[in-house]
Structure 1
């Protein structure tokens, strides 16, 4: 008897049963503060009837479905979101107006009827994000216009995002390759708003200057939720000898033309020398 009770307790703790079994748990990976989201818990009863389905945020129960009771659906107060009872049923629920404190682990727990009350549960995590206030900004400490072969220093600034977004630089539509000088997060003590700064510097090679122009883009993003970018165009002074970069068609053409002109001058000089020699012989 003691062994049977021990096995039953272990099954309940581990969420492993021979009856009720959760087959799918889906929650939004990330939500913006104030948004809504659907949480869904699907199970296979395997012949065991459901006594109750419960949803928890952390250790706090906020939703319960008991098909044999009236009313079937009960919700419990939470300050972090509200449950829309009108469209929530069984294991599928809709939550509104999530706060930053709504982030965390969510657990669905399904229990069978007496006498065993076999239970299965599954857990998933939700991130809640305060989105940045507007597009990211690009600033530069390097004097302008830029010059080729100098080191350019840039900073991307994103205001208001909590937690800080991922900031990524692109140079001429290609992900930037260079030296990252760290990231700063500045917190406003009164509003608790955060400003994120990411610093980057790179060598401005001639190949990066497209017709005397450098295009810089900074992207602020949160996976599965948010993507915002801004671009700036910087003028670049290109020395005359670099205006036709090696490997371009213009450079190849000019170089070939110069070689052709050089050969023509040499041939002309040979003809002049030979002609002069012949004339001298005749005069003798």
Structure 2
């Protein structure tokens, strides 16, 4: 029985009674950014309600290493424990918030806030949350297609590659403005690759049959969107067209009688080619 109690204590499921045993600490909640860019500043907050009881101490940890403490009865009330890569802005840190600056990728991890009420209860609550320190470029993904014109029934193949980042960016396909999901008709494959300096990049291939259902008036807009949390959003787009013979209308306007045979042929070719014009369009969505 003692062994079970010790295990429950280690898991945090059972707390020893302290003081009067009255729980005066409520509403403890941690607010940590889901992701921040390397080099940026992050504000970590710990909300709590002591119900008119005094605060004994606030402690902040990364994993199990304490890096900041606030004790209102001490002078100064704030204390920083130096840790490699963790830079605390003491002027912007207090009993409820701690501000970190110059974050580095290796500071990704779980951050914990420990709140303790003063005597007689010394009631303690701990909350934790994951923060990811990201790295990404200010560039669009790379979109490649086999060709710009497709006949109906052909297999349309495209590939999109994200730029190296940490972690790897997510890639999403769009056809004519609508998001595309993998199915029996549409084959999508995604692979995450390792890059130098422990960065990663994603490749996503798309394959489907060119049909009248995906070509609108002989055209198809294919777009690849790369995202990384809410910090990075870049897109690359290409316009494809249906490669079907377009003949000049039989009842169309006749060429002026004075045109030579060569001019008449050139005019007919212009009419044919005007129906299918493909251009690669690059765009950045911020």
Question: 1:179 corresponds to which residue?
Answer: 186
- Correspondence 1:19 to 2:24: yes
Shift in CA distance, 155/17, structure 1 to aligned 2, threshold 3 Å? farther
For structure 1, the residue ranges without an aligned partner over 5 or more in a row are 1-5, 242-284
Instruction: State the Cα RMSD in Å.
Output: 2.9
SS in structure 1 of the partner of residue 15 of structure 2 = helix
- Correspondence 1:135 to 2:144: no
Question: 1:188 corresponds to which residue?
Answer: 195
Indicate if the aligned counterparts of 2:167 and 2:199 stay in contact, CA closer than 8 A.
no
1:212-227 matches, within 5 Å, as 212-227=218-233
Indicate if the aligned counterparts of 1:29 and 1:224 stay in contact, CA closer than 8 A.
no
Indicate if the aligned counterparts of 1:22 and 1:121 stay in contact, CA closer than 8 A.
no
- Inter-partner Cα distance in structure 2 for 1:99 and 1:173: 36
- Correspondence 1:48 to 2:53: yes
| 1:48-104: CA deviation from partner (whole Å, max 9, x where unpaired) | 311110111110111111001011111111223311111111111211122122222
Q: Displacement, 1:233? A: 1.6
Q: Which segment is superposed worse, 176-185 or 53-62?
A: 176-185
Indicate if the aligned counterparts of 2:28 and 2:125 stay in contact, CA closer than 8 A.
no
Equivalent of 1:145 in 149, 154, 163: 149
| 1:154-194: CA deviation from partner (whole Å, max 9, x where unpaired) | 111111122111100101111124533422333234x3333
Q: Which segment is superposed worse, 128-137 or 147-156?
A: 128-137
- Inter-partner Cα distance in structure 2 for 1:220 and 1:90: 39
Which has the larger helix fraction? Answer: 1
- Inter-partner Cα distance in structure 2 for 1:182 and 1:17: 56
Indicate if the aligned counterparts of 2:168 and 2:199 stay in contact, CA closer than 8 A.
no
Question: 1:64 corresponds to which residue?
Answer: 69
TM-score (norm 2): 0.73
Question: 1:87 corresponds to which residue?
Answer: 92
- Give aligned pairs, total: 235
- Inter-partner Cα distance in structure 1 for 2:129 and 2:199: 28
Indicate if the aligned counterparts of 1:17 and 1:120 stay in contact, CA closer than 8 A.
no
Q: Give the 4+ runs in structure 1 shifted more than 6 A.
A: 6-9
Q: Which segment is superposed worse, 51-60 or 210-219?
A: 210-219
TM-score (norm 1): 0.74
Equivalent of 1:207 in 213, 218, 223: 213
Q: Displacement, 1:195? A: 2.8
Q: Which segment is superposed worse, 172-181 or 232-241?
A: 232-241
Q: Displacement, 1:46? A: 2.2
Indicate if the aligned counterparts of 1:12 and 1:120 stay in contact, CA closer than 8 A.
no
- Inter-partner Cα distance in structure 2 for 1:116 and 1:50: 11
| 1:81-137: CA deviation from partner (whole Å, max 9, x where unpaired) | 311111111111211122122222111111122344221111112122212451111
Question: 1:102 corresponds to which residue?
Answer: 107
- Inter-partner Cα distance in structure 2 for 1:51 and 1:63: 14
Q: Displacement, 1:45? A: 0.9
